[in-house]
Each structure stands twice: as C-alpha cells, then as structure tokens.
A and B are shown apart, each in its own frame.
Chain A
Amino acid sequence: MTNGDLEFFLDPSRCIGCQACVQACAECGTHRGQAMIHLEYVHRPTGVQTAPVVCMHCEDPTCARVCPADAIKQDDHGIVHSAAKPRCVACSNCVIACPFGVPKMKTELDLMMKCDMCYDRTSVGKKPMCATVCPSGALYYGRREDIAAMRRETPVNEFQFGRQTVRTKVNMMTAPDMRALPFEVLDFLPWEGKDFDPFELTRAGAPDVAASAVWEDFLPASEEAPARCGSHCQCHP
C-alpha cells in the first residue's frame, strides 16, 4: 500500500547535477543495477544546467495505450510499471510516444524498463531512492503541506502539450497560482535553419543558460538577460 499522504514533487531548476539520484536509482529492487532516472543537460552547448526526469505516472498513460502487447500496466495506486517481461516485444512504441521521454529500451534485454517510483519502497511507505538522496530538493517526496511551507513555487500535475492535456501523479513545481504547466515546443525549435539560441528568447527559462557562472565570465553585464518570467507566467501580473 502506498502512503496516500506522500507525493512526489519535481523541481528541475534546483538540480545541481550531482548524479546522486542516478547512483541511488540503480539500488532499487525492481530494476536492480539499472538506473531508470534521466539526468539531462538542458542545453549543453550554452550551459551546464542539468535536469532530473522521472516518470510522471500519467493518469491516462500514453505509453500503455500505444503498447501493442498490453505489457504496460497501471496499478490501483496510479503507478505505471515497467513493461511486463513476458509480454514486452521491445517495439519502442512507448519510448517514442511518451510525452516526457521517460521509458528506456534495454535492447540487450529486449525489454522496456522505466521508473516505477521505486515501487518496492513506496509500496511500504518508504521514499523513492532518488528523493532520499537528492541534496538540493529537485526531487522531493513528502507531504503537500510540508513542501508548501518550504517553497514559494506551486505544485501542478497538469501539462498542456499543444492540444493534449496530460494529468500526472507526480507534481511539477511551477510559478505560484499556476494550475497547469503550459508546455511550449515551438519557441525552442531552430526555425528556418537557425539553431536554438536561449539568449534570443525573453528569458526562455533554461535554468542557467544566461546567468550561470560559466557564462558570467564571458558576458558583459549589459548583455545578461534579465531575470524575469516567460509569457505564460502568472506570478508577476
């Protein structure tokens, strides 16, 4: 039984890239020796900011719906599990279709594996491995009232991918008063053959691309992008 009071809260902007979550993830009993968490450079050419990505455990999981073999199951607690070993045909539909890019295809095993929120631990009231070791609070597992007391950001579990609304079990920390995270793709594409340049956006939000220590040495103060919110933010009306 999962503890109903405890929830997962994700804040990639707090990630310091220490890799502790990656190492701890591989200790989980349901995927021993295999790290399921992703630690991505947000935009490596322009900064060193990293972001952890765990399974968001969608209410209507796209990965499970596109599976041709009924291999991905969601349990009564809303946890979306790794592909069932007897059924997975290693087609990679789930890997390509997941809106968050979470499932991993283990080609050497012919098996899709993914974050299951450390089901061997959370099912008995313990924290997931990654949240246990994260030193910066990018991965937090606890009570909603506790995180509300600690952070100014608000947790949301609804994402708007263009015309598709996705609701999840895992929460994402966003600006205060936001009810859903508007997910934008077009602003981050290299239109007309131009590479994506975060400096040309109105503070696009790549957590440290404009203000990280890496770039401060090279940028004159006048060229630093102002620290203000994106067009969708409602925190500064």
Chain B
Amino acid sequence: MRSRSAALIAGAALVLATLAAIAIGSGGMRHFDPALTGYALGSLMAAFAVGYRFTVWAQRPPSRMYFKRGLQLLFRRAGKSAPTEKPAPIPVPHGAGTLGFALARNFVAQEFIRRRGLVRWMMHLCLSGGCTLAFAITFPLVFGWIHFEPLGGDAEMYRVVALGVNVDSFSVHSVKAFVMFNLLNISAVLVLIGLVMAAWRRLTDAGERATQTFTEDIVPLLLIFAVTATGLALTVSYKFLAGRGHGLWAIVHMVAVVSLLLYIPFSKLFHMFQRTCSLCVSRYKKVGATGPRAHCIRCGEDFASQMHVDDLKTVLDELGFNYRFSGAQGEVHYQDVCPACRRGLLALNQGRTIGR
C-alpha cells in the first residue's frame, strides 16, 4: 500500500513538473499551440503513467538495492571503503567518470547490442535514433518551448526561439531550412528502416518466433509503424495532395502518438527507463571487482564480490526466501556456495537418496 501511495505521488509530481515546464517554457502559454493540445494532454497522462510505473518498479527489493548502491557508489570518492565497510584494496575510478562512460557506451552507442548482433544493433539504432530524434523535436514544439517566427517582418527569413531566447535564424530557401522542416520525415525514414529489419527478424528467426508474443513483441512494432506511417501521410497530404485529407490524418496521427505514449510505461518499451538501472550495475560491478571478494565455502573459488553476495542475502530475505541451512556443524547461507558447487551438490544429494 505504501509503495502504491509513493507511486501515485511520483506520478502526480511528474505531471505537475511537466505542467510547470509547459507553463514556464512557453512563456506563460503565449507560445503554446492550441492545435497541439491533444498531444500535450497525452504527454501529461504518459508522464503520470511513467512516474507511477517507474516508482513501483524501483521499489522492488532487487531494483531498490541497485539504485541505492548506485547512488552510494556514485558519490563515494575513489579508494574509499565499500558500503560493506570492508576496505577496497585498489582505488577505483570516481563514480561520475564511470557513469559518463557507461552512459555513452550503453545509451548512445548501445555497444552491448552490437556485441549481440551487428544487424540487430543497426536495427535498434535506427529505431531508437529515429524515435529519439522525433521526440526531441515534437516534445519542445508541443510544450511551446520552441517556436519559429518571421524575422523582422521578412517572411523569407525565420527565427528560432527556444525558451524565449533567439537561438538561430535562417532563410526558408536554405539547406538548413530544408533539413529543419524535414527532420521529422528524416526520423520517420530511419524508423521505417528499423521497422523493416525488426519485422524481418520477427518473421524469420526461429528462436524469436517461438518465444515472441503478440502483445509484448508485435504490438510495439505496429504502434510505432502507425505513428510513422500517419506522420508521413501528413507530409504526403500537404506536399502532394494539396492538403486533401490532412484534417483526418492529423487526428489519426494524434491518436496513434497518444496510444504509443500510453503504451510505453506498461510494455517492453519501458526498457528505455529500466535501463537506467544498468548505469548503477556498471558502477556496482566496477567497485565489486576491486573490492573484497566472496569465496565459495565449499571449493574456495572466488565467484562474486562480497558486496554482491551480502546484498543478495538481504534481497532474498526481503523477498521472503530463506536459503539458510543449519545443523550440528553450524549455519550456512546457500548464497555462500558458488553456482558450480550447487550443481555438484544437486547430483550428490540425488545420489545419496538412491544409494549410488
């Protein structure tokens, strides 16, 4: 109940923050475009859903542990002792540096996907790059943070105003103008390339075909396609059809975009927020590798960081698991036995019962 209340508060706080950002960023709503009200309302609903879902997820014991440790380790100076209060023998890089590196490698370059497959990496770069570009353009436009206006009464010259500050000006016949006015179309092409590659993989990969589900794996592709196709339809309408059907496509596009925004927090697309945990994990592993190590109580092998083993014991307790063994010899926690020994113990225990 407490976690639900916290999630409701987080969702409401994110809505208020978005509302404030819209009000302030648009100059007291002076530059807010009423035609985009539907998108703004959809964004506010999505903000609530993201805040709610993220808080529920981040409060689960294993997620909470990583976020807690991530924050502790980020602000810990290099070479200081680990939270387990055992001294780290080798100084580790300062948290912010590791975090920045992890951010660039995992979020921007998505290097871990390249290692999983080159084609898959290209597909994901097209999809995430295209979507990020589109969001980076539309959110500021919808919220009224950016607007274009003629420069000094000259309709041939445009000025870009961001948060009330003149940031750029260009001729409407320039290359820059072409690129700026077509950025959403460029992002749509990128996304379409990614969608084709993703669809091909979903149709031909035997493993994916066996494990994929319609709601988890196919619906997001369909929704992204709907947004992309209807967005391009708007361009086709005003460029080649003299605006015919523009009003209808505008409504359909808005419905598709809002549906996607509301789908994100409750689907696999939520991984764009969940992967923030990987930043904490990067730091955690870095510190763990140079800090005290856990050695298996059966074989003596170094199998994890002591911090990791201790934290997992806490997490297991919080989840209601109790893997403690006690007997005449004493008490041991199963987390102190390495995975390889656990596999051996399975055979030993089975063999014991059948006398082999």
Contact = CB atoms under 8 A, between A and B. Distances in A.
Contacts of A153: 354
A41 B343 CA distance: 9
A205 B349 contact: yes
Nearest to A87: B271
Contact of A40 (B63, B65, B347): B347
B312 A96 contact: yes
Given A12-B347, A181-B349, A174 B339 contact: no
A7 interface: no
Interface residues of A, number: 83
A190 B277 CA distance: 38
A29 B352 contact: no
A125 interface: no
A235 interface: yes
A184 B344 CA distance: 12
Contacts of B57: 70
A72 to B, nearest CB: 11
Contact of B355 (A53, A99, A185, A228): A228
B345 interface: yes
Nearest to B65: A68
Contacts of B115: 108-110
A84 interface: yes
B240 interface: no
Contacts of B343: 38, 40, 51, 53, 100-102
Contacts of B308: 92, 96
Contacts of A69: 63, 271, 274-275, 277-278
A122 B332 CA distance: 38
A65 interface: yes
A91 B66 contact: yes
A147 interface: no
B337 A174 contact: no
Contacts of A38: 343
Contacts of A84: 268, 271
Contacts of A206: 347-348, 351
Contacts of B284: 91
Residue from A81, A89, A120, A205 with most neighbouring chain B CB atoms (10 Å): A89
Contacts of A28: 207
Nearest to A161: B323
A235 B278 contact: no
Interface string A82-118: 0011110111110111111110000011110000100
B206 A49 contact: no
Contacts of B200: none
Interface residues of B, number: 66
A227 interface: yes
B355 A12 contact: no
Interface in B273-330: 274-275, 277-278, 281, 284-285, 297-298, 303-304, 308-309, 312, 315-316, 319, 321-330
A202 B195 CA distance: 63
A99 B334 contact: yes
B206 A232 contact: no
A229 B355 CA distance: 4
Contacts of A184: 325, 345, 349, 352
B335 to A, nearest CB: 7
A43 interface: yes
B274 to A, nearest CB: 5
Nearest to A66: B62
A32 to B, nearest CB: 6
B350 A173 contact: yes
Sorted nearest first, the 6 A-B pairs with minimum C-beta distance are A205-B352, A205-B351, A101-B339, A51-B347, A230-B352, A120-B210
21 contacts: A13-B351, A30-B207, A30-B210, A38-B343, A40-B340, A40-B343, A43-B348, A66-B315, A68-B65, A84-B271, A90-B112, A93-B315, A96-B304, A96-B309, A108-B115, A120-B209, A161-B334, A188-B298, A189-B297, A208-B356, A235-B354
Given A90-B281, A235-B353, 8 more contacts: A32-B206, A66-B62, A90-B112, A97-B335, A101-B339, A163-B324, A175-B353, A232-B353
Interface of B: 57, 60, 62-63, 65-66, 112, 115-116, 206-207, 209-211, 268, 271, 274-275, 277-278, 281, 284-285, 297-298, 303-304, 308-309, 312, 315-316, 319, 321-330, 332, 334-335, 337-356
Interface of A: 11-13, 28-32, 38, 40-43, 49, 51, 53, 62, 65-70, 81, 84-87, 89-93, 95-102, 108-111, 116, 119-120, 123, 153, 161-164, 172-175, 178, 181-186, 188-191, 196, 203-208, 227-230, 232-233, 235
